[in-house]
Structure 1
Amino acid sequence: MEKRHFVLVHGAGHGAWEWYKATGILTAAGHRVTTVDLAASGNNPKRLSDVSTFSEYSQPLIEMMDGLNSQDKVILVGHSFGGMSVALAMDRFPDKILLAVFVAAFMPDCTNLPSFVLDKDFALTRKLGRETSFFQEDLPKIPMFSRERFGSVARVYIICDQDKALTEDFQRWMIENNPVKEVKVIQGSDHMPMFSKPKELCSYLLEIAQT
């Protein structure tokens, strides 16, 4: 079995800690796993008041990706709002990414501004771990992601069919708007499959790593 390097990106208000079950399963299977705390998230020392733009919020991921050597191609996994940071990394480092996986995540396209998917109706119904922002004033200022860079990275979407935050209909709308290489569904999963269905989620990630 070929060993892969997974980079796991958390959702809004959370931190690298949300991946603790998945990290154990993936490393036990022999893969390398890196998690990051985005700005003002998890154990990152910044406060939300210190982070004024989406680029600043995503900077820890960008710095980590920048530090990878050109031979270390990663499988980049984003959950919920983490999909937006994954998209930013895809556009900046397409040659360092083997595959991008969106887990019940916001997934932008190459046709509209990155804020487009956030402009649709959605509700995050669970309490967030830390105060957070969706940078809805800043995201419309970010240029569209390019087909030559963002669009060149293969994408897989993992749907959580019992998600009450990003509903299945909303997830499928994003996929229809921006088709992916493969769609997988975790049956009976809420918005946090790394907690509610960690074995099923990691089974898909391990399967993806080999194909």
Structure 2
Amino acid sequence: MARFLLVHGAAHGAWCWRALSAELAALGHEAVAIDLPSHGGDPTPVGEVTLDAYVAAILAALEDETVLVAHSMAGVPATCAADRAPGRVARLVYLCAYLPRDGDSVASLQRRQAERPLRPAVRVAPDRLSFGFDPALAPEIFYHDCPEARVAEALDRMSPQPIAPTEAPVRLEGGIERVARSYILCTGDRAIPPAAQREMASGLHVVERPWGHSPFFSEPRALAALLDGLARG
């Protein structure tokens, strides 16, 4: 069976993958979820976090023949990691994630969107090193189709998102072109517009589902079944 490495999006941590990890394990897979620097249980100060630090954390957890799953913001560092170590990635799966080309950043991809639904919810810290999301607006943007208990847990556990790694442009050297890649396009997403997802995923193997931005909360069993199929090729 496959080994999955699950990488969370902005302001989240390994905790968001708990239900999906259990469903993947039930299918016989190994699922490893990591905290990126300054997220979850990682103590790195937000002011010290860089895109390279994100990439290094992913590379440290990569083993041969890993199915790398990146949610949302994590699509950018996951692309960089796969570009640097294509031989270790069996498949890179973007889960309603930002997908960069050379020179792109999370921020530049957001600015390119015709619609920017995240903007009203973003709250930048006074020191301008990080941002968070307004808890009054986050549920409808990220979790509108999720169970209430999981929404409450997420709001309680979301952490400040370092700004530096979201502004840093990627530098790709061609390794990513040797990696099998799939994109799970969530047509009910209220955080990253489906039209933007479709544009970023152009040329990739795309699977569409009517899910919101957090199917690891709303549809963990169905998401696990989909990932199982993608891992089998």
TM range (shorter): 0.7 to 0.9
Q: d(CA) in 1 for partners of 2:227 and 2:181?
A: 12
Write the letter of the residue equivalent to 2:27.
A
Assess, with a 3 A threshold, how the Cα gap between structure 1 residues 193 and 146 changes in structure 2: closer, same or farther: same
Name which of structure 1's ranges 42-51 and 74-83 shifts more when overlaid on structure 2. 42-51
Q: Which 4+ residue blocks in structure 1 deviate beyond 4 angstroms? A: none
Write the letter of the residue equivalent to 2:28.
G
TM-score scaled by length of structure 2: 0.77
Task: Give ranges in structure 2 of 5+ residues lacking alignment.
Answer: 122-137, 140-154
Residue 20 (structure 2) aligns with: 22
Q: Does 1:146 align with 2:173?
A: yes
Describe how 1:1-16 pairs up with structure 2 within 5 A. 3-16=1-14
Q: d(CA) in 1 for partners of 2:61 and 2:228?
A: 22
Q: d(CA) in 2 for partners of 1:138 and 1:106?
A: 13
Alignment partner for residue 34 of structure 1, among 32, 35, 50?
Answer: 32
User: For the Cα contact (< 8 Å) 1:118–1:136, is it kept in 2?
Assistant: no
Figure out how many residues of one structure are paired with residues of the other and give that number.
Answer: 194
Q: d(CA) in 2 for partners of 1:136 and 1:120?
A: 18
Residue 186 (structure 2) aligns with: 160
Q: d(CA) in 1 for partners of 2:27 and 2:167?
A: 40
Q: Does 1:186 align with 2:209?
A: yes
Write the letter of the residue equivalent to 1:206.
D
Percent identity over the alignment is 30
Alignment partner for residue 221 of structure 2, among 181, 188, 199?
Answer: 199
1:45 Cα offset (Å): 1.2
Q: d(CA) in 1 for partners of 2:197 and 2:162?
A: 21
Residue 82 (structure 2) aligns with: 90
Higher helix share: 2
Residue 132 (structure 1) aligns with: 161
Q: d(CA) in 2 for partners of 1:31 and 1:114?
A: 33
Task: Give ranges in structure 1 of 5+ residues lacking alignment.
Answer: none
Q: d(CA) in 1 for partners of 2:117 and 2:41?
A: 25
User: For the Cα contact (< 8 Å) 2:47–2:162, is it kept in 1?
Assistant: no
Q: Does 1:64 align with 2:61?
A: yes
Deviation per CA, 1:95-146: give whole Å up to 9, x if none: 000100000000112xx41324243233335277111034367513x42x13
Residue 77 (structure 1) aligns with: 69
Assess, with a 3 A threshold, how the Cα gap between structure 1 residues 137 and 205 changes in structure 2: closer, same or farther: closer
Q: d(CA) in 1 for partners of 2:160 and 2:71?
A: 17
Deviation per CA, 1:66-88: give whole Å up to 9, x if none: xx3xxx31100000001112101
Q: Whose RCO is larger (CA < 8 A, sep 6+)?
A: 2
